[in-house]
Chain A
Amino acid sequence: MNGPFAFTLALGDDALIAAQRLAEWTTRAPEMEEDIALANIALDQLGAARLLLSYAGELEGAGRDEDALAYLREDREFRNCLLVELPNGDFAVTMAKLLVLSAYQLPLYTALAGCPDERLAAIGAKARKESAYHLDHATLWVKRLGDGTEESHRRMQSGIDQVWPYAHELFAARPDTPVDPATLRAEFDAAVGAVLAEATIAVPDSGWAPAGGRDGVHTEHLSYLLAEMQVLHRAHPGAHW
């Protein structure tokens, strides 16, 4: 699957699955302020997902709207990167995931804002402002945890170690798309490298580079996530909500 539909769908799926995971934190965060912040970021991701999936549906031209795409596809049809479907883990794992995701989405949406497709450009222009906030939030926490207590340092290092291999998939070359993610890797490495250095966190040195999300070959986690997300919608075919 290639072309603008596949590209838009993949970005929409990234945002949708990220939103679903972040929303799992609601009522569980370490502080009330953080409950609000995580819900806020989840809402931003969900907002971007709705714009991208709606547009993907239009590009496809088969009459599928945002809900048909979110609720009526199976896991083999989802195109999100593996990173976003990984379980939340502890707060450090979640912040490691958010750091990687937002440091990828910020340059991606920024580049998208300048692309010739007006709809994608508008979505990129809106979403990049939100990504900048997400990156800032993740940066602050990675520093606090990395350079906080011994335990928080250990957990933050472990979080980065777990998440880091999944960053490779984000930057796999896709020269046929409006923004080739491979061109964003240098900016990502510079931004994240600076944060990790300040947080006294070592950049993991692993050759493992799991991938497959863009082809619909996911981890075992996605199917459970979708089962929960889709259960009610699928139980009432054709109903409006």
Chain B
Amino acid sequence: MYGNDFPGEDPPGGLLGEVEAAEAALRAAAQQDRDAAGPGTDLAAYFAQVVDADQKIEPRDWMPEAYRRTLIRQIAQHAHSEIIGMQPEGNWISRAPSLKRKAILLAKVQDEAGHGLYLYAAAETLGISRDELVDLLLDGRQKYSSIFNYPTLSWADVGAIGWLVDGAAIVNQVPLCRCSYGPYARAMIRVCKEESFHQRQGYEILHVLAHGTPAQRAMAQDAVDRWWYPSLAMFGPPDGDSTHSAQSMAWKIKRFSNDELRQRFVDMCVGQAEVLGLAIPDPGLRWNDERQAYDFTQPDYAELMRVISGDGPCNRERIAHRRRAHAEGAWVREAAAAYAAKQRNKKKEMVAA
């Protein structure tokens, strides 16, 4: 009963179709026998062969140490983003303007916690524990998406986050459904399906506001004005400055460059903004017939770097909030552990007796 009642088609782009295709490919890969010779003695060659053949690397397979470290970093940051990302939207649960919207938002934030759990579980297959990863987040040694350092100042921001932020996340994540590491690819298929649902719900919020009272319409436009560039910046620095790209592409962790994905996102949003009747805040936005794509003004990458390095509007609050929840919950986790130990002892005594 939580929504799914947006009248009309999926926003254009066909990204869910790509997710379905990736899922089919994943099943096919699982059924197909790998090289009959097996890993043999040349583990590196076998790894390269599996990646080249678009097969999946699984937790027990040998993998280069740098591949493992890159994946841990990327999956953990992704998981952290889901957990920190609950805060900006969670900020509006208590004030949601109708009971239906409150239910949808609560369900959405709950889904994000679930995505965080899938992703931590995927990271754990690489030989690191969730507790270690959480400590890395709380100590500021691992990052989360820059976008969650922006504040949600009106109800329309909840809609803009669904449409733009989840939209950008989906464009970024759909190619990861085909990434070479099996557990990550499988987690992304589940995540992308749910994110695409969230994106539609966000779009619907904005659609209602854009067709509502003048004050609601102004609220919607203001939210799009504030979230457009932070969303474009989610794709990361321009290709020339991206440090991890080349190796990640070779390992088939990444499939497209930051700039390619950003272009795909802009092209997708323009038509959707027209249907909404809201303006994208970029005077330089225009169709380029030669490129068959939209020209647009790049985000301020200096701002992106400031936000990533800790000086965005909400960095301090977001981390302080997470640390506080963790610290205030310590006695509860200790109690659960102590109780479980007592129960185990009781069982042992019963078996002994």
**Among candidates A31, A50, A147, residue contacting B342 with C-beta atoms closer than 8 Å:** A147
Across the interface, do A43 and B116 meet the contact criterion of CB distance under 8 Å? no
A240 contacts which chain B residues (CB < 8 A)?
208, 212
Residue picked from B102, B114, B335, most chain A C-beta under 10 Å = B335
Segment of B104-112, B179-187, B261-269 in the binding face = B104-112
Across the interface, do A152 and B332 meet the contact criterion of CB distance under 8 Å? yes
Across the interface, do A24 and B94 meet the contact criterion of CB distance under 8 Å? yes
Residue in chain B with minimal CB distance to A152 = B335
Across the interface, do A27 and B87 meet the contact criterion of CB distance under 8 Å? yes
Segment of A73-81, A116-124, A230-238 in the binding face = A230-238
Across the interface, do B328 and A228 meet the contact criterion of CB distance under 8 Å? no
B317-353 residues with Cβ-Cβ distance < 8 A to A are 321, 324-325, 328-336, 338-340, 342
Across the interface, do A43 and B99 meet the contact criterion of CB distance under 8 Å? no
B43-82 residues with Cβ-Cβ distance < 8 A to A are none
- Is B243 part of the binding interface, using a Cβ–Cβ cutoff of 8 Å? no
CA separation between A43 and B96, bound complex, in Å? Answer: 14
Residue picked from B103, B110, B120, B324, most chain A C-beta under 10 Å = B110
CA separation between A43 and B117, bound complex, in Å? Answer: 19
**Among candidates B116, B213, B335, residue contacting A32 with C-beta atoms closer than 8 Å:** B116
Across the interface, do B103 and A47 meet the contact criterion of CB distance under 8 Å? yes
Across the interface, do B103 and A149 meet the contact criterion of CB distance under 8 Å? no
Give the number of chain A interface residues (Cβ < 8 Å): 49
B325 contacts which chain A residues (CB < 8 A)?
27-30
**Among candidates A24, A46, A231, residue contacting B103 with C-beta atoms closer than 8 Å:** A46
**Among candidates B94, B110, B324, residue contacting A20 with C-beta atoms closer than 8 Å:** B94
Across the interface, do B212 and A46 meet the contact criterion of CB distance under 8 Å? no
Across the interface, do B113 and A47 meet the contact criterion of CB distance under 8 Å? no
Segment of A33-41, A102-110, A189-197 in the binding face = A33-41
A36 contacts which chain B residues (CB < 8 A)?
110, 113-114, 117
A138-190 residues with Cβ-Cβ distance < 8 A to B are 143-145, 147-149, 151-152, 155
Across the interface, do B332 and A232 meet the contact criterion of CB distance under 8 Å? no
A1-58 residues with Cβ-Cβ distance < 8 A to B are 16, 20, 23-24, 26-36, 39-40, 42-43, 46-47, 49-50, 53
- Is B37 part of the binding interface, using a Cβ–Cβ cutoff of 8 Å? no
Q: Given A27-B321, A32-B117, A144-B336, A46–B102 Cβ distance below 8 Å?
A: yes
Q: Given A91-B329, A148-B338, A232–B97 Cβ distance below 8 Å?
A: yes
Residue in chain A with minimal CB distance to B219 = A236
CA separation between A33 and B99, bound complex, in Å? Answer: 25
Residue in chain A with minimal CB distance to B110 = A39
Q: Given A46-B99, A144-B336, A148-B336, A30–B328 Cβ distance below 8 Å?
A: yes
B120 contacts which chain A residues (CB < 8 A)?
32
A82-132 residues with Cβ-Cβ distance < 8 A to B are 90-91
CA separation between A236 and B219, bound complex, in Å? Answer: 12
A24 contacts which chain B residues (CB < 8 A)?
94
Task: Write the B263-284 contact mask toward A (1 if CB under 8 angstroms, else 0).
Answer: 0000000000000000000000
B81-97 residues with Cβ-Cβ distance < 8 A to A are 83, 86-87, 90, 93-97
CA separation between A33 and B329, bound complex, in Å? Answer: 12
B95 contacts which chain A residues (CB < 8 A)?
228-229, 231-232
Residue picked from A24, A36, A228, most chain B C-beta under 10 Å = A36
B340 contacts which chain A residues (CB < 8 A)?
144
Across the interface, do B216 and A46 meet the contact criterion of CB distance under 8 Å? no
**Among candidates B102, B114, B212, B331, residue contacting A151 with C-beta atoms closer than 8 Å:** B331
Task: Write the A217-241 contact mask toward B (1 if CB under 8 angstroms, else 0).
Answer: 0000000000011011100101111
B335 contacts which chain A residues (CB < 8 A)?
144-145, 148-149, 151-152
**Among candidates B83, B86, B94, B321, residue contacting A229 with C-beta atoms closer than 8 Å:** B94
CA separation between A229 and B95, bound complex, in Å? Answer: 5
- Is B1 part of the binding interface, using a Cβ–Cβ cutoff of 8 Å? yes
A23 contacts which chain B residues (CB < 8 A)?
93-94, 102, 106
- Is A60 part of the binding interface, using a Cβ–Cβ cutoff of 8 Å? no
Query: How far, in Å, is B346 (CB) from chain A's closest CB?
Result: 10
New contact pairs (12) apart from A16-B99, A31-B333, A148-B336, CB-CB < 8 Å:
A20-B94, A26-B110, A27-B87, A32-B120, A36-B117, A39-B107, A39-B109, A46-B103, A71-B98, A152-B334, A229-B94, A233-B97
Minimum-distance CB pairs A-B, first 6: A30-B329, A148-B335, A152-B335, A30-B332, A39-B110, A144-B339
Query: Could you write out 30 A-B pairs with CB less than 8 Å apart?
Result: A23-B106, A26-B110, A30-B329, A32-B120, A34-B332, A36-B117, A39-B107, A39-B110, A39-B113, A40-B110, A42-B106, A43-B107, A43-B110, A50-B100, A71-B98, A144-B340, A148-B336, A148-B339, A149-B335, A151-B331, A151-B335, A152-B338, A155-B331, A229-B95, A232-B96, A236-B97, A240-B212, A241-B97, A241-B100, A241-B208
